[in-house]
Structure 1
């Protein structure tokens, strides 16, 4: 088995597929730089990302796959999981080497794995859309920070741009250290350099950054949830199934 090390980008992964054909490698273990541990007894091949190679592989997949499956490939990549990267390489080669319709063969381990990873990432995207809570900053921007299991920020753009089209907003991924900023016209990727004293807690921004009325809004929101809650109908088992505890840190109504 040959070990291919790539830079963790989608372009790099697609380039690895191209290189595996060029080198006529039949058994490849694909590893991102982040997860690679050098072994002095085993050689490895470093994949250099090239847009032209990546485009050729993507074009080959487009000839065989519909839009839904191409999106499945992208979502699986956003999982950032080593196992998912390996299955994507095998899946891409399997699709390219076989007639159209090969993606319907769920008996193939990588076809099944891609469909499973896609569902996990889609579920995380859906929950972020439901559980994100914005805070209004002193400069009139609605801000939220998150720490999802998967890199779902690119999948949130359409939902929040459509839902909050008349408001400037920022959604920042603390785990991956980048965010999205909507300026009423377009969405751009941004990076913050938080100083230690300004680094936000996961469920709130520092008070000095907030709009003067934000604390009042938070209190009113908590009171609303307290008043609509019916203790006699409380079912924590069902509640946790729909709102897992790991998402409570995003919800102001769950904070003391």
Structure 2
């Protein structure tokens, strides 16, 4: 058994796939370097992320299948499900072995997993694009907190960059402790480590003086368009699951 250690990034994983073929590694397991616990029965292969190797694997997948298939692999990786890197390796091995595209080969277990997981991640992406609510801080920065089920911040950055191109903003993933920041020129990744208690108090103190008024107006607007006679709780929860309510101003008590 060979334990393949990589840095946890998608580029690092693509590099690992390249080196599995390069060094003819068999019977492999993946582990991220910071969370590795080797047993005495494992040998180790440490991967140094290499952009050129990663690009070759990506381009090969696109050429043999399609850009949609390659994107599905990327989305599946972002799901962060346990053991998904090994599932994706089997998908890649299957794809490289066949003489035709495998993205619709529903007889192969790894293909089915990728199709299903890709669909879930894309659904979460669209929900984040719909449910992100920015709040204005005193220094003119628009700030939003989210806790998506999957690591979709890399997938939503383009949407918000295009939609809010004239303002500085940051979207923080409270579950993964990092964010994406737009400085009016480009989007970059930022790391922020603090507890939820500190997070809540610090952001509240930094709000623009008019922010609470804006939130109250938004809450009243939401209440005014919500016709009680047509209330359908089941349908509402289907489109806006309760787990997203925590950071939605319209779901917070008025006057908060």
TM-score, scaled relative to structure 1? 0.89
Q: Which residue of 2 aligns with 1:233?
A: 230
SS in 1 for 2:92: helix
Equivalent positions of 1:125-140 (< 5 A) are 125-140=125-140
Q: How far off its partner does 1:175 sit?
A: 2.0
| 1:71-109 deviation line (CA, Å, top 9, x unaligned) | 111111111223321111111121112213222212111
How many correspondences in the alignment?
Answer: 253
- Matched residues in 1 for 2:138 and 2:25: separation? 56
- Matched residues in 1 for 2:164 and 2:234: separation? 32
Whether the 8 Å contact between 2:62 and 2:69 is mirrored in structure 1 is no
1:58 aligns with 2:55: no
1:244 aligns with 2:224: no
Seen in structure 2, the aligned counterparts of structure 1 residues 147 and 250 have a Cα distance that, compared at 3 Å, is same
Q: Which residue of 2 aligns with 1:200?
A: 199
After TM superposition, the structure 1 stretch with the greater mean CA deviation from structure 2, 225-234 or 46-55, is 46-55
Q: How far off its partner does 1:51 sit?
A: 2.8
Equivalent positions of 1:160-239 (< 5 A) are 160-194=160-194, 199-201=198-200, 206-239=203-236
- Matched residues in 1 for 2:192 and 2:197: separation? 11
After TM superposition, the structure 1 stretch with the greater mean CA deviation from structure 2, 36-45 or 107-116, is 36-45
Whether the 8 Å contact between 1:17 and 1:93 is mirrored in structure 2 is no
| 1:100-147 deviation line (CA, Å, top 9, x unaligned) | 322221211111111111111111111101111110110112110111
Structure 1: segments with no counterpart, 5+ residues: none
Whether the 8 Å contact between 1:125 and 1:155 is mirrored in structure 2 is yes
Equivalent positions of 1:1-256 (< 5 A) are 1-33=1-33, 36-194=36-194, 199-201=198-200, 206-256=203-253
Whether the 8 Å contact between 1:5 and 1:31 is mirrored in structure 2 is yes
Whether the 8 Å contact between 2:79 and 2:121 is mirrored in structure 1 is yes
CA RMSD of aligned residues (A): 2.2
Whether the 8 Å contact between 1:13 and 1:89 is mirrored in structure 2 is no
- Matched residues in 1 for 2:56 and 2:187: separation? 28
- Matched residues in 1 for 2:27 and 2:103: separation? 20
Whether the 8 Å contact between 1:4 and 1:16 is mirrored in structure 2 is yes
Q: How far off its partner does 1:252 sit?
A: 0.9
Q: How far off its partner does 1:231 sit?
A: 2.0
Whether the 8 Å contact between 1:80 and 1:151 is mirrored in structure 2 is yes
Seen in structure 2, the aligned counterparts of structure 1 residues 205 and 70 have a Cα distance that, compared at 3 Å, is farther
Seen in structure 2, the aligned counterparts of structure 1 residues 197 and 22 have a Cα distance that, compared at 3 Å, is closer
Structure 2: segments with no counterpart, 5+ residues: none
Seen in structure 2, the aligned counterparts of structure 1 residues 26 and 43 have a Cα distance that, compared at 3 Å, is closer
Seen in structure 2, the aligned counterparts of structure 1 residues 43 and 186 have a Cα distance that, compared at 3 Å, is closer
